[in-house]
Amino acid sequence: MMRNNKLQAWFIFLFVGWSCLTVSKEQQARVAAIDTLVKKYIEFDKFNGCLLVVHDHQIIYESVHGVANPETGELLTREHRFRLASVAKQFTGIAIAILKEDGKLDYNDRIRKFLPELPYEDITIRHLLSHTSGLPDYGSILDQNWDTPHVNTQDRKIANNYDAYENLIKHHPPALFRPGDRYKYCNTGYNLLALIIERASGQTYHEFMRTRVFEPVGMKGTFVNAADGTLPDTLRACGFKPNPGATGYADIDWHYQNGMFGDGGIYSTIEDMYKFDQALYGSTLVSQRTLNEAYSCSILNDGKKVDYGFGWSIIHDNRGDFVAHGGGWAGFSPFFIRDYRNGNMIIQLTNRPGIRRGQLAFSIYEILHGGKYEMPDGS
């Protein structure tokens, strides 16, 4: 860890020193404030991961700190792939938008057009995208009905989307509310959207994401986990958490639901996330008109607005609305802020719990806008 801290300090020194020669005093102040903030998180052992900050379309700060795999002692690099957890939902939302522009589906299509076996009426693709479907969460259904209920050991069979789909059909748990009546965050919706992508496109979700999203943007380090949970061993961060036992950590990277995709299941790097962010300013993936709809509040049956679009949480701010999304799964706690009105972006990829979700990213957002923020403490 000492070696990594020295490398980290040297990298920040070089980056900030270079910045001081090429940018305004205001930008220097922003970078210095971000650097001080990040160092405090590191000092209190609350950050293990990669961080990238973009201001006015330019990268102004990067930080890489900690270990990729505590068992081997492998240190993190900017090339390491992190599980995006629910941040993957924005990619599924983009894939659905691509298929809409292709004429393969419409947001108001009933999902039974593509999933006729599903025993739920009147749910549309729009309902799935906006978490207003009323469907129950597949995770709790699998927990009760999978091979060994309520046990999470590595000898269990890996579950994937097709298993979750079959369980919804077989057990038909009741809907929580009429579609469009309420908002309730639901992984089932994006799990099913992945299957709709497959049936509408004629490709697997993995193939579609690779050929229509990752490759056009140049995201060479990004991939979807296999349906059997198989993952590459190289340059992949492993999820873990501190543990006061003999090793000092607990491996929490494995879970029997690691075969899922659509609601999660994507691994990426900070560089690839930057490429994705910048691509959304053009029309490489979808038109700006389509993207604006994805960034719009959803409307309930009673006309009330919900601050969630198509894979993005919508944050209202007097300095301009922006979109964001976080995630949490198997030790990973990513957070992505896209302040697209101002050309700003913050991507935080971590493989160890340690900070409240979004806390660091939102503090950096305040620094970029000259706002107030809190420094972390040792508690």
- Is 86 among the catalytic positions? yes
Single out the residue of 173, 184, 178, 332 nearest to residue 265, CA to CA.
332
Beta bridge partners of 259: 160
Provide the residue type at 129 as one letter: L
Cβ proximity of 338 and 323 under 8 Å? yes
Cβ proximity of 7 and 13 under 8 Å? no
Q: What is the DSSP string of 288-345?
A: HHHHHHHTSPEE-TTS-EESB-SS-EEE--TT--EEEEE--BTTB--EEEEETTTTEE
The single residue of 19, 86, 313, 333 carrying the catalytic annotation is: 86
CA 163, 169, 171, 174: dihedral to nearest 10 degrees?
A: 120
Cβ proximity of 179 and 213 under 8 Å? no
Query: Exposed e or buried b for every residue in 50-72, given b needs 16+ CB within 10 A?
Result: bbbbbbeeeebbbbbbbbbbbee
Q: In terms of DSSP H, where are the helices of 44-149?
A: 89-101, 125-129, 138-145
Calculate helix-pair angle for 25-43, 359-368, nearest 10 degrees: 160
Distances (CA, A) of 14 to 4, 27, 63, 203, 242: 15, 16, 12, 45, 31
Residues annotated as catalytic are 86
